[in-house]
Amino acid sequence: MEFVIITGLSGAGKTSALHAMEDIGFYCVDNIPPLLLDTFYDLCDNSADNRMKKVAVVVDMRSGNMFNELADIISKSKLSGKRFKILYLDTKLDTLLIRYKETRRKHPLADEFSGGSTEKAVELEYELMKPVKIISDYVINTSYMTPKQLKERVTTMFSHGQESGMLVTCMSFGFKYGIPLEADLIFDVRCLPNPFYIKELKHKTGLDEEVRKYILDFEVTQQFVEKLISYLDFTIPLYKEEGKSELVIGIGCTGGKHRSVTLARLLNSHFNDNDQQSAIHHRDIWKA
């Protein structure tokens, strides 16, 4: 059975993530109380209905004071032999405040403060969620993501199944838009030849063969790739031994359109060709 607990900050995109799970065949339940997790897990595990063998549940601050017990409940469940994964959705504080301002929704913890301060509620939730974030198997920071990008990321992450071992995600990004906070490794490829200054290539991306050929034909790029792959081939088995569920490799250039996309595609192909489960995500490729 595949059982995924979705949690994280209010406003970080848990609803979008749950919809993505439902679209790939998971039986989904929103806002389940933490104290019912064990019971619901056993019901699904013992069910003869095949639809109950892929399950995703959302547990968050809407549970009130019961949520404070989630970390302990999860730890005890794992010790008892239950097998599940935890997906944690994170977001920068200022991004969350903007989202709440735009939607005018009330934060679940707002009533804890006089005047219903959203800022204080978000800050409190950050602190309360730390124990859960630490024990999570997957962390996605949605600060720079659209709902569509989040759905694509979640779909890719869980389509392969939990029994396939560690997933390597190759993420291209632009430094001008910020470093992906969920990345385990960051590689800066701004030192490589830049197609942006070539008139015919400026408005293309690393998805185009002309851009890919331009970047990879340079000897310095070939040397860079050789050393990068050698390093990753050596370290990835070490991360597997550590028990990681996902290794996020961030490949960054200036705008996230040319060099980073090309190198992320190359790494993704290399891993898949060598029987390493790998996915790709271009965070900033379509940004202006």
d(CA 158, CA 167): 9
The residue with tokens 């933490």 is 34
Task: For 170-191, write each residue's pLDDT tens digit.
Answer: 999 999 999 998 899 999 999 9
Phi-psi region at 208: left, alpha or beta (left = phi > 0; alpha = psi -120 to 50): beta
Could you tell me whether strands 27-29 and 54-58 are parallel, antiparallel, or unpaired per DSSP bridges?
A: parallel
Find the mean pLDDT for residues 248-256: 97
- Report the candidate in 217, 232, 150 with the shortest Cα–Cα distance to residue 187: 232
Supply 43's token pair.
């019901």
pLDDT higher than 80, residue 116: no
Q: What is the mean pLDDT of the segment spanning 268-282? A: 94
Q: How much is the mean pLDDT over the chain?
A: 92
- Looking at residues 265-270, what average pLDDT do you find? 98
pTM for the model stands at 0.82
Highest mean pLDDT among 63-77, 143-157, 224-238, 273-287: 224-238
pLDDT score, position 184: 95
Q: What burial letters (b/e) apply to 152-168, b meaning 16+ CB within 10 Å?
A: bbbebbbeeebeeebbb
